Amino acid sequence: MRRRPGIGGLQKAAAARDQYRLLGENVAKLRTDMMKEQLATFKSQLEEFARKHKNDIRKNPAFRAQFHEMCAKVGVDPLASNKGFWAELLGIGDFYYELGVQIIEVCMLTRSLNGGLISLQELCSHLRQRRKKDREAVTEDDCLRAISKLKVLGSGFEVITIGKKKLVRSVPTELNKDHNQILELAQGQGFVTVEEVQRRLSWTSGRVIDALETFLEEGLAMIDNGNKDGKCQYWFPCVSSVYSIVGSDT
């Protein structure tokens, strides 16, 4: 018959548990302190790196993207404020502020063509044309960062992904799943027909026409009914290379 531990044994066991708990807390605190120290060292090194490579960060888009990646790893956001340490050191806040203003301008100028929905690739193409004299190359990554800052202003700007394309929306139009599927289909040749959508998505004609009418009402699509086969083609400037070429002169 097994003997139950006495009061002294229970007290010893409780004391041992307390010691293990304190030891665990001390180890955790030590690890946290070490991580904080390492983080502070890394931030200091990051500042020194930024000072040394200031011009490269501003002028070289690949270098700039890598710098943002390093900042993200230590919880530093160089774009959080236009009047902070990083803004003064790099002038990087001004870079994205100016880029944001230019993005708004391009979206407004092309809205009559695309209804407020433009591919990220086309937007970058317009921006590069505008910024040729600045000698500061712009990448899609730069555009995405600038647009993320525009969101804070409640400006209605948003990046949506349809299939393999990223589209920038500058109007408050809400696109549902049906709209997204049609846009994905249109990426192949820039347009769809009612019959094609019915066949490829197995929808009723009513469902197809309802979705396409919304695109027309919002100015996101254009209709071409002058085809020899008599089928109406619904063109989408935001995914059509034809309209991208025409719009690049703006």
Residue 215 has pLDDT above 80, yes or no: yes
Given 139, 171, 203, which residue is the final one in a domain? 171
Q: How many domains does the chain have?
A: 2
What three-state secondary structure class fits 92?
A: helix
| Structural domain contains residue 30 | no
Q: Is residue 126 part of a domain?
A: yes
* Enclosing domain of residue 187: 174-243
Q: What are the pLDDT digits (tens) for 30-82?
A: 666 666 666 566 666 667 777 777 777 767 777 777 777 777 766 666 655 44
Task: Work out whether strand 117-119 and strand 165-169 pair parallel, antiparallel, or are unpaired.
Answer: antiparallel
Task: Tell whether 68 and 126 lie within a shared domain.
Answer: yes
Higher model confidence: residue 234 or residue 129?
A: 234
Residues in contact with 243: Cβ distance below 8 Å, sequence separation at least 6, in sequence order: 113, 114, 190, 235, 237
pLDDT of residue 246: 43
Could you say which of 142, 171, 200 is where a domain stops? 171
Instruction: Tell whether 179 and 144 lie within a shared domain.
Output: no
Q: CB–CB of 138/127 below 8 Å? A: yes
- Whether residue 52 is found in the same domain as residue 167: yes
Whole-prediction pTM: 0.62
CATH of the domain at 74: 1.10.10.10
Q: What mean pLDDT comes out for the span 142-150?
A: 85
Do 203 and 96 belong to one domain? no
